[in-house]
A = this chain, B = another copy of it.
Amino acid sequence: MATIQEVAKYAGVSVATVSRVINTPDKVKKQTLFKVQNAIRELNYEPSVLGRSLRTSRSGLLLVLLPSVSNPFYAQIINGIQDKAIASGYNILLCETDSDPDREVIFFNMIKNKLADGIISMDPTVNKESLIELSNKYPIVQCSEYAKDNTLSYVTIDSKRAAYQAVKHLIKLGHKKIGLINFDKKFLYASERYSGYEKALKEFDLKVKDEWIYNTKYLNFESGQQAMRVLLNQTDRPTAVFAVSDVLAVGALKELHINQLKVPEEMALFGFDNIEISNVVYPPLTTVAQPMYDLGAISAQMLMSKIKGEEVESRVLDHQLIIRETT
């Protein structure tokens, strides 16, 4: 790669002039402009992001932290982020953290080092204090997962209410024995969806039986399947199950197929997220639709506002129950 000095030499001007041609072309005489642009073309020059951002503290890069790329839930959020970011001249870099705080630190350092201009985090909040501290100095927006604090910005949905509505829907259908397939409670959504589940049951005087609740360790089909297997093995088994994620629900559905149970007649199933696959499995899964694209798009816009130094307000977006054929 040619450097700015080489271009300057080739064009017979100073580096400052070359820099001006790139950043403020109207400040240089047409004749010079042409000469320099020609040199740039000839030498195939591209400004070094490294040199530039060392000086300007601007990289044009946004970091997106996510626990795992394998969950299709994130794919659509990323689309939303990407569209808005690109439209504003930013590029995004996806950082898979496996929800490991050590790995997260590496990416946090990228923003401290000005390698990135802002962060959208979908990671669970392990250490609220350090997140607040970081957020005071650098533009950070939480998406989907969040820690509530008036200095922290987030875009999310009301998980508790959504879960409450889902379980209430099952109750209205006549179910009295409702199981729960949940995920690691370090994720806020997991504990909130639990609360919603609990609230609905209590409201209708149904008991919350520990045996009907299974917390998975991983978020994949396999875990959902295993959870359903455990639930089915009870002597007094539930007649309906609410899974806090479609991925788990789809796994659970597979176990129902294996056991040749009719869905929803012998076992009803309610998922969460409305990922693409929920409508492809058979029978199509009843679920809670999160506005994933908007979650991403709004996070991105919020982040870019923050980068500009504007004040932003956290948002709780609407969800929607999608009643299909598993209930």
Known pairs A72-B70, A93-B95; A110 contacts B78 (CB<8 A): no
Cβ of A282 within 8 Å of any chain B Cβ, yes or no, is yes
Instruction: Please judge, given known A-B contacts A78-B96, A96-B78, A115-B115, whether A51 and B49 are in contact too, CB under 8 Å.
Output: no
* A94–B91 touching, CB < 8 Å: no
Quick check: A93 and B94 within 8 Å, CB to CB?
yes
Q: A76-B70, A282-B282 in contact; A109/B254 too (CB < 8 A)?
A: no
**Smallest CB–CB gap between A267 and chain B, Å?**
14
Instruction: Please report which residues of chain A, range 251-284, place their CB below 8 angstroms from some CB of chain B when the two chains form the complex.
Output: 251, 253-254, 257, 276-277, 279-282
| 0 or 1 for each of A223-237: is its CB under 8 Å from B? (1 = yes) | 001000000000000
> Does A19 sit at the interface, judged by CB under 8 A?
no
A7 within 8 A of B: no
A76 to B96, CA, bound (A): 12
Task: From known contacts A221-B276, A221-B277, infer whether A74 and B82 are also in contact, taking CB-CB under 8 Å.
Answer: no
A92 to B63, CA, bound (A): 12
A99 at interface (Cβ–Cβ under 8 A)? no
Contact with B along A191-234 (1 / 0, CB 8 A): 00000000000000000000000000000111001000000000
Q: Among residues 46 to 74 in chain A, which have CB atoms less than 8 Å away from a CB atom of chain B?
A: 46, 48-51, 53-54, 68-70, 72, 74
Across-interface contacts of A75 in B (CB, < 8 A): 68-70
Contacts of A74 in B (CB 8 A): 69
Contact with B along A98-125 (1 / 0, CB 8 A): 0000010011011011110000000000
From the candidates B1, B54, B86, name the one contacting A50 in the complex (CB within 8 A).
Answer: B54
Chain A interface, number of residues (Cβ within 8 angstroms): 49
Which residues of B have CB within 8 Å of A51? Answer: 54
**Cα distance A229–B91 when bound, in Å?**
38
Interface residue? A243 (CB, 8 A)? no
- Given A106-B91, A280-B221, decide whether A113 and B49 contact each other with a Cβ distance below 8 A: yes
> Which residues of B lie under 8 Å from residue A279 when comparing CB positions?
221
Contacts A69-B74, A96-B94, A106-B91; is A49 near B115 (CB within 8 Å)?
yes
Complex Cα distance, B1 from A72, in Å, reads 36
Tell me if A250 counts as interface (CB < 8 A to partner B): yes
Q: How far is the CB of A90 from chain B (nearest CB, A)?
A: 10
21 contacts between A and B (CB under 8 A): A1-B112, A1-B113, A46-B112, A48-B114, A49-B110, A49-B113, A49-B115, A69-B78, A70-B79, A72-B72, A91-B106, A93-B95, A94-B94, A115-B115, A221-B276, A221-B279, A225-B280, A253-B280, A254-B281, A280-B281, A282-B282
List A residues at the B interface (Cβ < 8 Å): 1, 46, 48-51, 53-54, 68-70, 72, 74-76, 78-79, 82, 86, 91-96, 103, 106-107, 109-110, 112-115, 220-222, 225, 250-251, 253-254, 257, 276-277, 279-282
If A48-B113, A82-B96 are given as contacts, then 12 extra A-B residue pairs at C-beta distance below 8 Å, sorted by A number, are: A49-B109, A49-B110, A50-B54, A51-B54, A91-B106, A91-B107, A92-B96, A93-B93, A94-B94, A250-B280, A253-B280, A257-B282
